Amino acid sequence: MSSLDQFIASAAAALGLPLEEAWKPAVKANLDVTLRHAATVAEFNLPDDAEPAPVFKA
Amino acid sequence: MAGDGAWASAAEIAKAVASGRTSAATVVDATLARIDARNPALNAFTAVTAERARERACAVDAAPDKAKLPLAGVPFAVKNLFDIAGLATAAGSKINRAHPPASRDAPLIERLEAAGAVLVGALNMGEYAYDFTGENVHDGPSRNPHDLSRMTGGSSGGSGGAVAGGLVPLALGSDTNGSIRVPSSFCGIFGLKPTYGRLTRARTFPFVTSLDHLGPFARNARDLALGYDAMQGPDPDDPVCAQKAAEPVAGLLGRGLDGLRIAVAGGYFRQGAFPEALEAVRRVAKALDARDEVEIPEAARARAAAYVVTATEGAALHLERLRKHAHDFDPAVRDRLIAGAMVPAALVAKAQVFRRWYRARVLDLFARYDAIIAPATPCTAPRIGQQTFLLDGVEMPLRPNVGIYTQPISFIGLPVAAVPVPLEPLPIGVQIVAAPWREDIVLRVAHTLEQMNVAAAPRPL
């Protein structure tokens, strides 16, 4: 079992999400693509004081 | 209105009804008959509100101010994520059909009807709008009027099919990552994705609140403008909706290109494009005399960030439904949402920080240019059920990649008109993109391209 498989099993349990055996390959493929997209964003260096797009106003 | 009326514009219908040359009741009866005849093949409608439409048409005909209604007697239909009083808002799902019927129409429906338009029904869509194909496992696929074996594009698939198929001259849809612009491209019609926050989203079923927009489809730019003008204005029921008074654009369309500086998006927006997409952009650029090519900075990363925000906010919206009704989802949607729930929050926060940086860089470009043109989709309409396509010679899954050119634009909420270029055998769309709140520019350019016979909604054979 790969580390991503283990992560998926643990995350499903922690989130209380059902995860049938037959769904696992597609969930894994989707998570893998999303994490790769997320990595390309996260590796882009921005200053510590860069603000996120959504701005809460009290 | 020549012929069977199927190809009559909203403007022509409104003029004919307002002047008394025809009645709203006649127009609506003909529309309902066309839906009866053609919808079995197109599968664009999931509900037809015939009784309500006939009553509404009679009310328009009896209205003392009929002559002043800009959309008098214009039939329209809405993606089935809009609340329609008396119907459960399905949002393309099986699960939501168990919801109680909506008690009131969505405000965009109310605003169109206040302008004289007549709602005739609800339209097919990809489940919960997480879709670029227009396919739906519960309702069946919406079918492309130019070739019934092909996709409409999604997720506003029924909206694209209903307008391109001549069932209605005006439809509403939603666009989170491209769901107005993709069906406009595949079906060969005009679509407007306004600025994020321009049109109220109240009483519609959401998908990704950070990215959700609503907007109109039509067969010409003037009809888009008429519908859009009727729907503008603030609404306290949608916290994202801007506190801006309406800024009508229909009267500005005739201004042409005078003074507009227009560039073509290069780099990322040429990669992966099929020859048809490049040819459509070439024709539009030539007509607009757009010679400069600009690089939208970090567009690939913007698309990646939009992907992450979509997967995770979508998952948050549906978390409880995934726990309780996982078997009632479209399996493809379910598996994407489950994966989205597992993405670490730190990565999502990074995407939202990047979004602000990217917005500032792209807005810098609009100091030099009033509009930027880009392909709407990499290809013309694929076949229904097609799973993969070749992007730059690499076989890629089709479903998530149809929106590669739309996602970096909606990610920062820029207004876009998708204009159809009538290539043979299938049309394809081009995006006209402007700075926030400049819908007037994108619609002016769209209208001018129509006058030049470069953009047109081809009538299916």
Measured CA to CA in angstroms, residue B57 lies from B76, B110, B325 at distances of 12, 14, 40
pLDDT of residue B397: 86
Q: Model confidence over A3-55: pLDDT tens digits?
A: 999 999 999 999 999 999 999 999 999 999 999 999 999 999 999 999 999 98
User: What are the helix (H) ranges across B63-198?
Assistant: 107-114, 157-164, 181-187
User: Beta partners for B218?
Assistant: B170, B190
Can you give the pLDDT at residue B223? 98
- Which of B305, B339, B357 is facing A31, going by the closest CB pair? B339
B130 Cβ neighbours under 8 A, 6+ residues apart: B155, B207, B310, B314, B333, B336, B337
By Cβ distance, the residue of B319, B342, B355 closest to A53 is B355
Choose the closest CB to A50 out of B323, B326, B357: B357
CA–CA distance, B255 with B250 (Å, rounded to integer):
11
Domain boundaries, chain A: 18-42
For residues B435 and B409, is the Cβ–Cβ distance under 8 A? no
Q: Does A41 touch chain B (CB under 8 A)?
A: yes
Alpha helix ranges (H) inside B48-147: 50-62, 107-114
Mean pLDDT per 10-residue interval, chain B, length 461 residues: 82 98 98 98 98 98 96 98 98 98 98 98 98 97 98 98 98 98 98 98 98 98 98 97 97 95 97 96 98 98 98 98 98 97 98 98 98 98 94 84 96 98 98 98 98 98 87
Query: In a mutagenesis test of the A interface, which of B212, B335, B337, B399 is the best target, namely the one with the most A β-carbons within 10 Å?
Result: B335
Flag whether residue B301 sits within 8 Å of chain A, measured between CB atoms: yes
A52 touches chain B (CB under 8 A): yes
Distance CA(B42)–CA(B60), nearest Å, equals 29
From chain B, pick out residues whose CB is under 8 angstroms from the CB of A53: 210, 352-353, 355-356, 359
Burial class (CB in 10 A: 0-12, 13-18, 19+), B34: buried
Amino acid (1-letter code) at residue A50: A
Q: Could you tell me the maximum CA-CA distance found in chain B, to the nearest angstrom? A: 62
CA B139 vs CA B22, B93, B119, B183: distances in Å? 35, 9, 21, 17
Q: Who's near B305: CB < 8 A, 6+ residues apart?
A: A37, A41, B351, B354, B355, B358, B411
C-alpha–C-alpha distance, residues B171 and B10, integer Å? 11
Q: What pTM, to 2 d.p., does this model score? A: 0.98
Rounded to the nearest angstrom, the minimum Cα separation between B243 and chain A is 15
List chain B residues with CB under 8 Å of A19. Answer: 338
CA atoms within 13 A on the CB side of B273: 24
Summarize pLDDT for B374-385 with one digit per residue, the tens: 999 999 999 999
Looking at residue B399, its pLDDT comes to 84
User: Which residues of B have a catalytic role annotated?
Assistant: 79, 155, 179
Locate B280 and state its tokens: 């459509």
ipTM for the complex? Answer: 0.98
Establish if B365 touches chain A: CB-CB under 8 angstroms: no
Interface contact flag, B340 A30, Cβ < 8 Å? yes
pLDDT for B282 equals: 98
**Does B307 contact A37 at a Cβ distance shorter than 8 Å?**
yes
The answer to whether the CB of B442 falls within 8 A of the CB of B422 is: no
Asked if residue B200 lies in contact with residue B230, where contact means CB atoms within 8 angstroms, the answer is: no
Q: Return the bridge partners of B190, or none.
A: B218
* CA–CA gap between residue B426 and residue B448 (Å, rounded): 22
Q: How close B3 comes to chain A (CA, Å)?
A: 49
Are the CB atoms for B218 and B10 separated by under 8 Å?
A: yes
Where in chain B are the domains?
10-305+331-451
The pLDDT assigned to A1 comes to 80
Residues of B in contact with A54 (CB under 8 A): 210, 352
pLDDT of residue B374: 98
Pairing state of beta strands B190-193 and B143-144?
Answer: unpaired
> In what order do the strands lie in the sheet containing B75-79?
B45-48, B118-123, B75-79, B170-175, B213-218, B190-193, B416-421, B428-434, B371-375, B262-265, B292-294
Q: Using the beta-carbon criterion (under 8 Å), do A17 and B341 form an inter-chain contact? A: yes
Q: A28, A34, A48: best mutation site toward chain B, by most B Cβ within 10 Å?
A: A34
d(CA B24, CA B17): 6
* Pick among A36, A37, A45 to test the B interface (most B CBs inside 10 A): A37
CB contact under 8 A, B353 and A27: no
Taking contacts as CB-CB distances below 8 angstroms, the residues of chain A near B336 are: 30
Classify B375 as helix, strand or coil.
strand
Of B322, B326, B356, nearest to A50 by CB-CB distance is B356
CATH architecture of the domain formed by B10-305+331-451: Alpha-Beta Complex (3.90)
